[in-house]
Copies of this chain bind each other. A is one copy, B any other.
Amino acid sequence: MSATRRIAVIIGAGPGLAASIAKSLSTTHSLLLLSRSLPDSLPKLNLPTGIPKENILALSSDGSASSLKKVFEDLKKHWPDSRVDVGVYNVNQSFVMKDFLDSEESQLRAGLESGVVGGWNFAQSLLPLFLANEPDNTTGARGVLLFTGATMSLRGGAKFSSLAPGMFARRSLSQSLAREFGSKGVHVGHIIVDGIIDSERVREQMGEDKDNTRLNPDHIAQTYLALINQPRSAWTQELDLRPDNERW
């Protein structure tokens, strides 16, 4: 890494998986962290004190085109000589399983916004920056864009009629972008997290993971990092992650 500061952008930056990804990238990248509740919620992310504060920029974004436009303008002012080369779309749906006939159209729409519209806007903001980069010396990538998926990205289910559509749509976006931008030097991947992430919030709500059936967010982040480090001759578009004890 030369004098140029490298930036990784994580949207949907809450205390679970996103914080672990941020941590795993912090030795090579400065971090632009985005979510609705940032920057106020930054302390909740519990990032290690070892990460220099000047390497973190936390801003609010709801994933809309206008909010992302503002965010990337702010980024340019904040770190003018930088190379943005990693993006992680990690926005979660508020997860409410419901009988179809008890569901509101607004739930479907919320799922589509977080599932795919925000990711589409995020990609619109990031890709021009990626394409302006030189290929990375080690991987050959101009940029890496990773999307977090879930079991319901692959199959619908009873009570998932308002939740799964946005996640199917997100997966399709990752495929279309991989096919369009792969030969232009951009690595686009989709990580299917199949199971419950053992975040602090989950532990508060459901207790400790006594049976070892949850995914440790640091362990998931290890694979995000492995994808980011893949050289261009062998890129992964999609993989699954699940605990050894998960039935599937």
Contacts and interface: CB of A to CB of B under 8 A. Distances in A.
Interface residues of A, number: 79
Contacts of A173: 156, 161, 164-165
A219 B140 CA distance: 12
A236 B244 contact: no
B183 A233 contact: no
Given A235-B242, A238-B240, A175 B182 contact: no
Copies of this chain assembled into the complex: 4
Contacts of A223: 226, 230, 234, 236
Interface stretch (A26-34, A48-56, A75-83, A101-109): A101-109
Given A171-B168, A175-B164, A183-B244, A100 B117 contact: no
Interface in A182-224: 182-183, 185, 187, 198, 212, 214-216, 219-220, 222-223
Given A109-B117, A222-B234, A239-B239, 18 more contacts: A99-B180, A112-B116, A116-B165, A156-B171, A156-B172, A156-B175, A156-B179, A157-B179, A159-B176, A161-B173, A166-B169, A182-B244, A183-B245, A219-B231, A220-B234, A232-B243, A234-B242, A238-B240
